Structure 1
Amino acid sequence: MQRSTKIVATLGPASSTEQVIETLARAGANLFRLNFSHGAHEEQARRVQAIRSVEQRLGRPIGILADLQGPKYRIGKLDAPLSLEAGQQVCFYLPDQPAPELDGNIPAIPLPHADIFASLEPKSTLLMDDGKLTFTVTALGAHHAVARLHHAGRLSSQKGVNLPDVTLDVTPLTEKDLTDLAFALDQDVEYIALSFVQRASDILDAKSRIGGRAQIIAKIEKPSALTEIDQIIQATDAVMVARGDLGVELPAAQVPAIQKQLVAKCRQVGKPVIVATQMLESMITSPAPTRAEASDVAGAVFEGADAVMLSAESAVGDYPEQAVAMMAEIACAAEAHVQDNPHDGPARLAVEPSVYHAVAEAAVRLAQTIEAAAIVAFTASGNTAVRLARERPSQPLLVLSPEPAVERRLSLLWGTQTAHQDETSYEQAVDEAVALIKQRGLARTGESIVLVSGMPFGLAGTTNALRVVTI
């Protein structure tokens, strides 16, 4: 059974050599993530070169995702770690401004981010050290904030800061991100992941800078993004449910429902969606996952996610190959269950009111009705494949495109197998598709396949023609 759910594997110290990258690709990785929070450009360039070499050797497209760090907030340097009591007040201050006059019992903590002080309000929440410490603002000055600690804890230098109920007046693209973005685009990556997206305008600004050279993945990490989520999904090319920071800024109990909602919303409008963070976390140090982790991966498959992602498991873990192989095995088992029990899979979607979507939905229904062996899509832009994948067909979906960049982008899209096809006439394209279907063993003599294309043939953006061919 061909696996439909794609796997994104993060590269890092445990997985940077060409040999290991090929091992991960053979184990099931469809797309590789480069984390620009770590690693110099020279190191990332070597990884890109290794991926392209593996791609050529394996004879199948492999996508590359450049994940930008985004704005990261940390407290400054402390003279010594602070042991804080529940209910204790502290003062956060901007280090380059005159220090506020404080009661001698109130510890002063440097917070070198003017944009935070500009956005704070009374009763705002600040989380420190991945949510281990929670503070509520009780008083504000121009360059300082007094806050009360909820539970006792220890705070040391350079710990991360999260602001769950504050919308910061900042762009998600820092100076570092702009430098990394220019480098990533020069490397011809397929996707740029934008961290800490808060509003649709963040996506539109990034798109204007990228100029169509790569597609954008909006990482949903802040509660403020959820208030404008429909507009964000509409503006972006794909979405990542980044459960790490999202789980810090929101109660953990809320994250599963938000994940389910985001996957459903993305499916409705045909935007690929990745479920990420801690999916097989125990496999950083263990060769086997916990049962809960297996259920987590399967749950994402049952919801209809296009892809599931490995982070530290493949980047720094002791068992990167086993983590990819296990994720593939779990996804295959979940998909096989859905094949036999369709009601346990993602719900059928309402047809979008357009000719293109209606033709894609009709193609999938036609393939099911006549029990076709496969669906073949001809696409110059990838849009036909996206519309078909949105319907989650039970038949294999083979996508033929003359554009290598489109083939690589489709490595993220649910259910797609891809192949290169030079620009040619429609009849020649059909003959080549039939030959490829036979070569890949997707259909036998006497079986039918459904062909989906746009007319005039080769014109990007159209999906308006169906045809049934008997092998």
Structure 2
Amino acid sequence: MHSNHLLLEEPIRMASILESSKSTFFPAMSRIVGTLGINSQSVETISACLKAGMSVARFDFSWGDAEFHQKTLENLKIAIKSTKKLCAVMLDTVGPELQVVNKSERPVSLQEETLVVLTPDQDKEATSNLLPINFSGLSKVVTKGDTIFIGQYLFTGSETTSVWLEVTEVNGEEVVCLIKNSATLSGPLYTLHVSQIRIDLPTLTDKDKEVISTWGVRNNIDFLSLSYTRHAEDVRHAREFLSKLGDLNQTQIFAKIENVEGLNHFDEILQEADGIILSRGNLGIDLPPEKVFLFQKAAVYKCNMAGKPAVVTRVVDSMTDNLRPTRAEATDVANAILDGSDAILLGAETLRGLYPVETISIVGKICAEVTPFSYCCKEI
């Protein structure tokens, strides 16, 4: 008997997988946005990041003061001159972000199955059973059974550095929660996210306006990343504010979609914005994990059809502490580009990660490897 051979059209030769990576005729068509900060502030490190493939530097004002970010930007300018690599500047707003404030900066250990109280009294010290927050209205919007998530800088999801809470009681302005997993919170600020609850704060806060009109104008920023964009009106308001500043009327606004409210108004937001950032860290809290990929694929497709850049975040979280990404992460980067993403945004990995340069380099290599293959896919 003759065995039946299944003939497959090969979009890429299997043998090429074993070839060493090298610069090809196809340059990487996607861009890498690197967040500069604690572990990526020196001229030497920034220069290496530029050489590795970073073409947009992101300055996240959720932490650090204007003086710190100005020092980083001055170092970026020196690095640009020495490397002769162009790099745009993106200012990332804080927006209506809820934060746990730890003035002492001492690590706070939280024990599973114990209670912790969230209080709007920021004068109190953060302890294992009391966490001060920057929002007095939390008790008005949560009810018993609601889920609250607390983590350091855009949620790593690590069970040791982030914590799930379940609301058990609302007592005046204080919210009592049951701790669902043991964790240690370290540093002065942690982000707090309440799943699928609308926070009644302006998207462009007074603090954001002050930073944009001072630091942003002084440095003639190229992009404004509008955190927690929930409606098209948020983008229109931001654009109106920029136009009044004069110097920033050419600044592009990238709407950051971070919750269900932004997802529900995605089409209108896309019409108004210059680009979209899919903030998968926060979306992964608001949406069930199995739904995040559906939104990503739909949103990237819509951005492609509208001719507007789509930026994907949270791709190589493990490289915050490790020299290599997981296989799943490497594949995730490639699939994001194959789906039509125009840029990869690196947050904690380059901000406070141990290997900012290596992270940019590896993500860049994956993007370059994908580029010719994406052309093949489009032709088939």
- TM-score normalized by the length of structure 2: 0.75
Q: In structure 2, what is the Cα distance between the partners aligned to 1:317 and 1:114?
A: 32
What's 2:265 paired with?
A: 228
Taking the TM superposition and a 5 Å limit, the aligned residue runs for 1:284-433 are: 284-342=320-378
Any conservation in 1 of the 2:98–2:191 contact (CA below 8 Å)?
yes
Deviations 1:358-387 (A, max 9, x none): xxxxxxxxxxxxxxxxxxxxxxxxxxxxxx
Question: Whole-Å Cα distance in 1 between the matches of residues 64 and 116 of structure 2?
Answer: 35
Q: Which one-letter code corresponds to 1:250 in the other structure?
A: L
Contact preservation (8 Å) 2:43, 2:79: yes
- CA offsets per residue over residues 224-252 of structure 1, 9 Å max, x none? 21111111111211111111222223222
List per-residue Cα deviations over 1:36-76 (Å, max 9, x = no partner): 22333233223323333444455554211111222332456
Which residue does the alignment assign to 2:31? 6
User: Partner of 1:276 in structure 2?
Assistant: 313
- In structure 2, relative to structure 1, the CA distance for the partners of 1:26 and 1:81 (3 Å cut) is closer
- Aligned AA (2:264): T
Matching residue's letter, 2:46: I
AA in 1 matched with 2:258: E
Please name the residue that 1:32 is paired with.
57
Kindly indicate whether the alpha-carbon contact (under 8 Å) linking 1:119 and 1:169 is maintained by their aligned counterparts in 2: no
| Higher CA-based Rg | 1
Partner of 1:115: 137
More deviation, 107-116/199-208: 107-116
| Per-residue Cα deviation, 1:143-202 (whole angstroms, up to 9, x for no partner) | 45566x484656979754212221122112333322222212221110111212222222
- AA aligned to 2:277 is M
Change (3 A) 1:76 1:7: closer
Question: Residues 340 and 18 (structure 1 numbering): CA distance in 2 closer, same or farther, change over 3 Å?
Answer: same
Alignment check: 8 A CA contact 2:52 2:360 kept:
yes
Deviation of 1:205 (Å): 1.7
Task: Quote how far apart the aligned CAs of 1:330 are.
Answer: 0.6
Is residue 2:240 matched to residue 1:208?
yes
Report the equivalent of 2:192: 161
- In structure 2, the residue corresponding to 1:64 is in which secondary structure? strand
Q: Does 1:196 align with 2:221?
A: no
> 1:32 deviation in Å?
1.2
Letter in 2 for 1:12: G
- Between 1:119-128 and 1:38-47, the stretch displaced more is 119-128
Q: Answer yes or no: is the 8 Å Cα contact 2:119–2:174 preserved in 1.
A: yes
Aligned to 2:39, the other structure's residue is in SS state coil
Cα 1:295–1:343, aligned 2, differ >3 Å: closer, same or farther? farther
- TM-score, scaled to structure 1: 0.61
Aligned to 1:100: none
Q: Distance in 2 between matches of 1:218 and 1:128?
A: 23
SS of 2:98's partner is coil
Pick aligned residue for 2:283 from 238, 241, 246 = 246
Supply the AA of the counterpart residue of 1:31: V
Which residue matches 1:133?
Answer: 164
Tell me, what secondary structure is at the counterpart of 1:38? Answer: coil
Can you give the 5+ residue segments of structure 1 that lack an aligned partner in the other structure? Answer: 97-106, 345-471
SS of the residue corresponding to residue 184 of structure 1 reads helix
Paired residue secondary structure (1:219) = strand
- The aligned amino acid for 1:337 is F
8 Å CA contact 1:91, 1:144 repeated in 2 = yes
8 Å contact 2:147–2:164 — kept in the other structure? Answer: no
Structure 2 Cα separation of the partners of residues 57 and 81 of structure 1: 44
Change (3 A) 1:29 1:121: same
Structure 1 residues 342 and 109, CA, compared in 2 at 3 Å: closer, same or farther? Answer: closer
Which shows bigger deviation, 186-195 or 44-53?
44-53
Distance in 2, Cα, partners of 1:13 & 1:108 = 28
Residue 97 of structure 2 aligns to a residue whose secondary structure is coil
Counterpart mapping for 1:45-64 below 5 A: 45-59=70-84, 61-64=86-89
Q: Could you tell me how far 1:23 is from its partner in structure 2?
A: 2.2
Whole-Å separation in 1 of the counterparts to 2:134 and 2:304: 40
| Number of aligned positions between the proteins | 329
Code of the aligned partner of 2:352 = V
- Measure, in 2, the Cα distance between the counterparts of 1:231 and 1:271: 13
**Cα displacement (A) at 1:89:** 7.8
Judging changes above 3 Å, is the alpha-carbon distance between structure 1 residues 254 and 112 closer, same or farther for their aligned structure 2 residues? Answer: same
Q: How far apart, CA to CA, are the structure 2 residues paired with 1:185 and 1:290?
A: 40
Spell out, residue by residue over 1:334-358, the C-alpha distance to the aligned partner (whole angstroms, 9 max, x if none): 11212233268xxxxxxxxxxxxxx
